[in-house]
Amino acid sequence: MRRMMSGLIFSTAAALCLSVMLSANAATVADAAMAGDKTAVRALLKQGMDVNAAQGDGMTALHWAARTGDVELAQMLIYAGANVKAMTRLGGYTPLIMAAQVGNAEMIGLLLKSDADAKVATSNGTTPLMLAASAGQADAVRVLLERGADPDAKENVRGETALMFAANFNRVEAMKALLEKGANFNAATHVVDLASLTQAGFGGGGQGPPPGQGPQAAPGGPATPAGAPGAGRGPAAPPGGEPQAPPAATAAAGAPPTAAPQE
């Protein structure tokens, strides 16, 4: 019996190790994209590596290109068959949502032209338009609105709209862009018992903090959350800018905690 149990434990451990090794190998293109190494990405794709292979939290190469604002890399990946609708395991983030977090209008436009859904939302109902509005990037807001984003959509916790996200951080130009397209300035939020949410451990399972307690970006700067999938790893960039060091730890509205995926 002991020998049988020892064999079972050994077999299970070996299977787990093999699974981790295969997962690491499968995400090679994503790893290269995380490092911002386009030469490596191109070489790996030529070798036939899977462009859609994801890291443990579901981050694909295209997620990383969107997060860092590398349009050239995104174009390469899309040409190679990258799935523009791929979602992370925590929070259900698509590349478009990643691009919206930093308000990158050019990246947003590219993804939308490649069949990304402007009305997609995270697991708690936060939309790309809400995130672009909180980032204060009016051009990004306009691109999303032109492609059918709903200015009056509400996230699931407080019922906040994109206009409220912009108002929370004094994003005047983003507010103007929303109002120009008929955003409802009379919309009201739900009543939320924050004490109950805290007691229930709100924020786990990819839900993130309630809107209004999210991205703490300075006026005029992008709201780049560190709570989103991939945060704290790899380069980060302002809209249209070159990759920089990872941002300070802040949490975006609707952003899941940075953690290994919970199967």
184-191: long-range pairs with CB below 8 Å, 24+: 184/151, 184/152, 187/152, 187/154, 187/159, 187/161, 187/163, 188/159, 189/158, 189/159, 189/160, 189/164, 190/157, 190/158, 190/159
Q: What residues form DSSP beta bridges with 205? A: 203
In a domain, 155, yes or no: yes
Nearest to 32 by CA among 51, 18, 17: 51
| Angle in degrees, CA 185, 251, 58, rounded to 5 | 110
pLDDT tens-digit map of 220-239: 334 444 456 766 666 544 43
pTM equals 0.70
In a domain, 110, yes or no: yes
pLDDT tens-digit map of 136-186: 999 999 999 999 999 999 999 899 999 999 999 999 999 999 999 898 887
pLDDT at 203 over 70: no
| Angle formed by the axes of helices 61-68 and 105-113, nearest 10° | 150
In a domain, 119, yes or no: yes
Q: What is the number of structural domains in the chain?
A: 1
| Angle in degrees, CA 218, 97, 253, rounded to 5 | 50
| d(C-alpha 235, C-alpha 262), whole Å | 25
| d(C-alpha 253, C-alpha 101), whole Å | 10
By residue count, the chain amounts to 263
pLDDT band at 202 (very low <50, low <70, confident <90, very high): low
Q: What residues form DSSP beta bridges with 244? A: 236
Q: What residues form DSSP beta bridges with 236? A: 244
CATH number at residue 160: 1.25.40.20
- Best-predicted range by mean pLDDT (25-29, 137-141, 196-200, 203-207): 137-141
| d(C-alpha 95, C-alpha 82), whole Å | 10
Which residues have a Cβ under 8 Å from the Cβ of 132 and sit 6 or more positions away? Answer: 100, 103, 108, 140, 141, 144, 162, 174
In a domain, 183, yes or no: yes
Structural domain of 201:
84-205
| Angle in degrees, CA 247, 248, 249, rounded to 5 | 115
| d(C-alpha 99, C-alpha 79), whole Å | 18
Residue 16, Cα to own-chain centre: how many angstroms? 28
In a domain, 198, yes or no: yes
Nearest to 174 by CA among 188, 159, 156, 161: 161
In a domain, 24, yes or no: no
In a domain, 48, yes or no: no
In a domain, 201, yes or no: yes
pLDDT recorded at residue 36: 95
pLDDT above 70 covers what percent of the chain? 62
pLDDT recorded at residue 64: 98
pLDDT recorded at residue 216: 37
Looking at residues 43-53, what average pLDDT do you find? Answer: 96
